[in-house]
Amino acid sequence: DTEVTQTPKHLVMGMTNKKSLKCEQHMGHRAMYWYKQKAKKPPELMFVYSYEKLSINESVPSRFSPECPNSSLLNLHLHALQPEDSALYLCASSQDGGGGLRETQYFGPGTRLLVL
Amino acid sequence: QKEVEQDPGPLSVPEGAIVSLNCTYSNSAFQYFMWYRQYSRKGPELLMYTYSSGNKEDGRFTAQVDKSSKYISLFIRDSQPSDSATYLCAMSGQGNQGGKLIFGQGTELSVKP
């Protein structure tokens, strides 16, 4: 089973709201990722967790706050977002993020976020 | 210059055609190469991955890597309307800031019945 699940599928929020995106995988992977994808663009890496520790933060604004409660779960907490943050937010997982084919990443279906 | 270059298309072909999708790259440290397919409003789906020069075949799909030319290709034989999607190449290198894939821009493919 190479499934990564994400909830919710769609989210509309105002600029003063606080919301969270959730991601789950049961493949025994130890690396999990958040990406942002705008229309007709490739996914843009935001954060990487490896063995539940944040290993990469691609200079993402603090209004995005990741959390990895355990090796199967990944959250992205959202607060005071801007309209330009509207995008498809993708979660992915890989074996351990340690390099080579262990980085082969499996993506979830994404959460489509609209910020008003 | 981007590390990975991919023609964004769009590419339109008739059903049954052979499709050739390509990426070039500049970083010789890249050793691992992947192709993802992304349908509209969905997440990317892993199609093929490879780590050596040469060809790898899976059904109607063939991935080709030429490390000497820093060039990778994905061929789709007997293309079907269901192959209409955006195809993303992605690559990484051993120890390359572990966990980081570098994506091409994606090629939008349309297969007409």
Q: Indicate the pLDDT class of residue B9, thresholds 50, 70 and 90.
A: confident
Q: What is the pLDDT of residue A33?
A: 94
A52 touches chain B (CB under 8 A): no
DSSP 8-state class, residue B39: -
Q: What pLDDT, on a 0 to 100 scale, did the predictor assign at position A99? A: 63
Q: What is the tens place of the pLDDT at every residue in B63-107?
A: 999 999 999 999 999 999 999 999 999 988 765 555 578 899 999
Cβ pair A99:B43 closer than 8 A = no
Percentage of the residues of chain B whose pLDDT score is greater than 70: 95
Q: Look at A55 and B99 and tell me if their CB atoms are within 8 Å.
A: yes
DSSP one-letter string for chain A: ---EEEE-SEEEE-TT-EEEEEEEE-S---EEEEEEE-TTS--EEEEEEETTEEEEE-S--TTEEEEEEETTEEEEEEES--GGG-EEEEEEEES-SSSGGGG--EE---EEEEE-
Find, among B36, B97, B49, the residue nearest to A110 by Cα: B36
pLDDT (tens place) for every residue of chain A, 116 residues total: 569 999 999 999 998 899 999 999 999 999 999 999 999 999 999 999 989 999 888 889 999 999 999 999 999 999 999 999 999 999 999 987 766 666 789 999 999 999 99
Instruction: Indicate the range of A92-96, B15-19, B23-27 predicted with least confidence.
Output: A92-96
Kindly determine whether residue A43 and residue B44, on different chains, have CB atoms separated by under 8 Å.
Answer: yes
Q: Which of A90, A94, A110 sits opposite B99 (nearest CB)?
A: A94
Phi, then psi, of B8 in degrees rounded to 5: -75, -10
